[in-house]
Structure 1
Amino acid sequence: MASIAYQQACCVYPGAERLAVDRLDLDIHDGEFVVLVGPSGSGKSTALRMLAGLEDIDSGAIEIGGRSMVGVAPKDRDIAMVFQNYALYPNKTVAENMGFALKMRGIGIDERRRKVEDAARLLDLTEYLDRKPARLSGGQRQRVAMGRAIVREPQVFCMDEPLSNLDAKLRVQTRTQIAALQRRLGTTTVYVTHDQIEAMTMGDRVAVLRGGELQQFAAPTELYDRPRNAFVAGFIGSPSMNLFTAPVTDGTLSVAGSPLELDAATRALLSGRSSVTAGIRPEHLTVSSDGTGIDADVVLLEELGNETLVHGEVKDPDIRTLDGEPVTFVARSPHRAPAKLGDGIRLKQSAPTVHLFDPESGDRVG
């Protein structure tokens, strides 16, 4: 096990107009589970491949256990990779797949068998050790890939979207198993995903990337409660935060003629501003039962069984999304079918929790 440090690490692909990873700074503690998350093209997989030695570090440095990895071959980094496509040998059994790297290192058959059997017990694979990959389910194949990494007892696990090929139910089950296994083993882990729910539920800390640049690196709860900028605010959370730009009038914010409920600290941050980008989480909006609140028309209903997500297009020409489009708010309703498509409704705050961001830079205000 070891700590990891990205120090102004950069990577640029030949012919590219911008850096794939731009001056990345991360300090990852020994034994920590860190998730790199972001949209496609954000640089998260490139950052992981730089750590593993599969991409060059064009400037800056990456350290593992205090040792610089610049110029160090992948095989000498004591890292185990788990890939999206499993990369199993179809002609070898589960036991042979898991023990192959140990065989290449010259480890004796008895020691190999012990390590493979220990890993198989951890992963509930003991009864499948004599099977070929073709006779395994997707989740079982992914556990074999995990086992192949575990038997090496590396300093660091690198996982590049390992659950992408699994169906939704199996993804939830397997991500729980991976997180529990990592905590049991205590091995420093860097995990890449585009799924922010996966990131929030698995990581001790989460690094949000965009365009090769680090946006925020924090615990999941901090990312949710205090996003550093409007991008993080809109990316973290499902459904996404309702973000809109609105004029500030007499130190207040109004939407469709309805003043937003603000606490004293938030109201003070509006002083001297003519406009602001505001954000309200869907759980802090509900369909009003008393006829007061933000005037909107229902454009979509998402029935989830335990709740309904109500999408209401706001009737206010003065507020716009960050892209300049009309605003649609999403509200959570604990009741089924609180309205029908096309109905006029009122959306009301259930808490005075409003996030404020600068409309030019996107940075958090306060």
Structure 2
Amino acid sequence: MADIAYKGASCLYENADTLAVDSLDLDIEDGEFIVLVGPSGSGKSTALRMLAGLEDIDEGTIEIGGKDMVGVPSKDRDIAMVFQNYALYPNKTVGENMGFALKMRGVGVEERKKKVADAAKLLDLTDYLDRKPGKLSGGQRQRVAMGRAIVREPQVFCMDEPLSNLDAKLRVQTRTQIAALQRRLGTTTVYVTHDQVEAMTMGDRVAVLKNGKLQQFSAPTELYDRPKNAFVAGFIGSPAMNLMTMPIVSDGVRLGNSTLALERDQLSALHAAGLETVTVGVRPEQLELSTGDGGIEVIVDLVEELGSESYVHTHIAGDGTQLTARSLTRTPARLADTVSLHKRDGAVHLFHPETGERIGD
């Protein structure tokens, strides 16, 4: 077990014009489950590989358990990797795959068998120890890869999009198993994914990256309730937050022919900033569909029925600004209908129209 510290850690690939990871600062506590999330090219996998010793640290440092890892070979960092493609030996049984790293270390046969048996019990693989990987499902193979990491008893787990090859149902099941297993083992874990739902449901804290730079590092609820900038606001949440840059009026912001009212402290913050327009963020669940008068008049573009709820995709009549609303009941709205959206109780988020930084509390 160990804590981890990224201190201004940067990585520049050969012949690249920009840093893959740019001055990353993260303090990860012993036993935490941390998720690195971001779009393709954000630097999340590179940051993980830097921790594992698979990429050079060009500037700054990374510490594990208080020890500087710059120049330390991967094999000497006491880290276990779990990859997207499982990386199992097809000619070896499940038990042999799980115990192979221990065999290479010279661990005795009996001790090796015990560690493999214990890990197999944790992962519900006991009945499959004599099978070859080709006879297993995708979820079972991923559990074998997890078992191979567990038997090493490392101080850190590094997981690079381990669920990407699984179908949607199996992903949900396996991510629940991984999160529960990590809580039981208490091993510090750094997990990379591009799926923000996966990040929000698994991580104790989540680091959101964009273009190699850290945007926000917080608990999932903090990311959702108080995004630091417009990028985080739009990336976290499914469906995405409605973000639109609109003119400021005396009591709020103008949306089409309607006004979205703001709190007094928000109006004061906008006045202090001297802005004429502002980027407004409203989550779909804060918008309620109505066929009555008042509210924001919109035209329905698409209705997604999900059974227990539906998402209504619309645009504001006149200016084309797109808005998505969530309805917990089956909506009567149909394509091309004109309806009204009313804001439910909940925060309206404000961001600077140029920098994207959050305005106010």
Q: Report the TM-score range of the alignment, normalised by the length of the smaller protein.
A: over 0.9
Report the Cα distance in structure 2 between the residues aligned to 1:298 and 1:78, rounded to whole angstroms: 55
Q: Deviations over 1:94-141 (max 9, x none)?
A: 000000000000000000000000000000000000000000000000
State the match for 2:196 in structure 1. Answer: 196
Quick check: 1:276 aligned with 2:258? no
Question: How has the CA–CA distance of structure 1 residues 264 and 199 changed in structure 2, closer, same or farther, with 3 Å as cutoff?
Answer: same
Q: Is the 8 A contact 1:242 1:279 kept in 2?
A: yes
The one-letter code of the counterpart of 2:352 is: D
State the match for 1:322 in structure 2. Answer: none
Matches within 5 A, 1:317-356: 317=319, 326-356=320-350
Report the Cα distance in structure 1 between the residues aligned to 2:166 and 2:45, rounded to whole angstroms: 19
Quick check: 1:120 aligned with 2:120? yes
Report the Cα distance in structure 2 between the residues aligned to 1:336 and 1:261, rounded to whole angstroms: 27
1:316 shift after superposition = 4.4
Quick check: 1:290 aligned with 2:292? yes
TM-score normalised according to structure 1 size = 0.96
State the match for 1:361 in structure 2. Answer: 355
State the match for 2:305 in structure 1. Answer: 303
State the match for 2:317 in structure 1. Answer: 315
> Between the two proteins, what is the percent identity of the paired residues?
70
Q: Deviations over 1:308-364 (max 9, x none)?
A: 1000111243xxxxxxxx421000012224211111111110125200000010000
Report the Cα distance in structure 1 between the residues aligned to 2:307 and 2:61, rounded to whole angstroms: 49
Structure 2 unpaired stretches of 5+: none
The one-letter code of the counterpart of 2:110 is: D
Report the Cα distance in structure 2 between the residues aligned to 1:264 and 1:95, rounded to whole angstroms: 64
The one-letter code of the counterpart of 2:78 is: D
Matches within 5 A, 1:111-260: 111-260=111-260
Q: Is the 8 A contact 1:13 1:20 kept in 2?
A: yes
SS in 1 for 2:261: coil
State the match for 1:320 in structure 2. Answer: none
Q: Is the 8 A contact 2:277 2:353 kept in 1?
A: yes
State the match for 1:83 in structure 2. Answer: 83
Matches within 5 A, 1:6-155: 6-155=6-155
Report the Cα distance in structure 2 between the residues aligned to 1:3 and 1:239, rounded to whole angstroms: 34
Q: Is the 8 A contact 2:292 2:339 kept in 1?
A: no
Deviant stretches of 4+, over 6 Å: none
Q: Deviations over 1:5-41 (max 9, x none)?
A: 0000000101111000000000000000000000000
Q: Is the 8 A contact 2:228 2:357 kept in 1?
A: yes
Q: Deviations over 1:147-176 (max 9, x none)?
A: 000000000000000000000000000000
Report the Cα distance in structure 2 between the residues aligned to 1:291 and 1:232, rounded to whole angstroms: 34
Report the Cα distance in structure 1 between the residues aligned to 2:8 and 2:149, rounded to whole angstroms: 28
What is the aligned length?
358
SS in 2 for 1:99: helix
Say what the alpha-carbon RMSD is for the aligned residues: 1.0
SS in 2 for 1:276: strand
Range that drifts further, 286-295 or 131-140 = 286-295
